[in-house]
Amino acid sequence: MCGRFALWSLMRALAEEFDLEGSEFEMRPRYNIAPSQGVHVVARRDGADRLVEMRWGLVASWSKEASSRAPINARAETAAEKPTFRSPLRRRRVLVPADAFYEWRKSGGGRKVPMAIALRSRAPMALAGIYDVWRPPEGPALESFAILTTAANELMAPIHDRMPVIVPRASRARWLDPEVQDPARLADVLGPYPASEMEAHQVSTRVNSPANDGPELVEPVRGLY
């Protein structure tokens, strides 16, 4: 699964990496992004790719309420079949910028060791997301998203059996294209990212609490990994 990530790249770097338009504001670096929080994602709007804020945890359009238990992940292998994810996968896809994501590796005695995973190139990752729009009886509509996950690659397998889908640069335009509505045309994007292009290191257990933030959370610490 993917339950926590970090994004510290400056807007200039994100605009270049994701070919963004109309994104002239600055975002503060965030090192411990957690479910239910507002997150800036890349969405296709009016024919251009823009940063849009959405809540992490997908609330289906047909839901009776915006539950705080909304799913934060969707399995890539079955998303096209699940009522909550079927329509978003076909029509409402986003990219979730992340400089690193966290996963917890099981250790002796049931202990869980936090790990930070990033690209070797240090470029921001584009995690595959799907979103929906929920409209309450009163007030503004809520846009919310989930991150797709797939089987672990060789790097991730000792840490966890799942990992987020990372969309390569060459496939990002197709992922965001609302005219692409056949899941079969996206199947090649949904597999594990090459392990040779990624790296992982152990980080402080301070990342366990979403209340903690700061660049020290992604710094390597001594461990057994």
pTM of the complete model: 0.95
Q: What is the pLDDT of residue 118?
A: 98
Amino acid at the residue 134: W
Catalytic residue chosen out of the listed positions 53, 103, 138, 143: 103
- At the second CATH level, the architecture of 5-218 is Alpha-Beta Complex (3.90)
pLDDT of residue 225: 47
pLDDT in tens, the chain (225 residues): 789 999 999 888 999 999 998 666 678 999 999 999 999 999 999 899 999 999 999 999 998 888 768 999 999 999 999 999 999 999 999 999 999 999 999 887 778 999 999 999 999 999 999 999 999 988 899 999 999 999 999 999 999 999 999 999 999 999 999 999 999 999 999 999 999 999 999 999 999 999 999 999 999 997 654
Instruction: Indicate the domain borders of the chain.
Output: 5-218
Q: What is the pLDDT of residue 24?
A: 65
Indicate if 103 belongs to the active site.
yes
Catalytic hit among 2, 53, 77, 199: 2
16 annotated active-site: no
What is the predicted pLDDT for the residue at 111?
87
- 19 sits in the region (left: phi over 0; alpha: psi -120 to 50; else beta) called left
N-term to C-term CA, the chain: 20
pLDDT for residue 133? 97
Cross-strand bridge partners of residue 166: 127
Instruction: For CA atoms 66, 72, 76, 78, give the dihedral sign.
Output: negative
* Alpha carbon 24 to its chain's center: 22
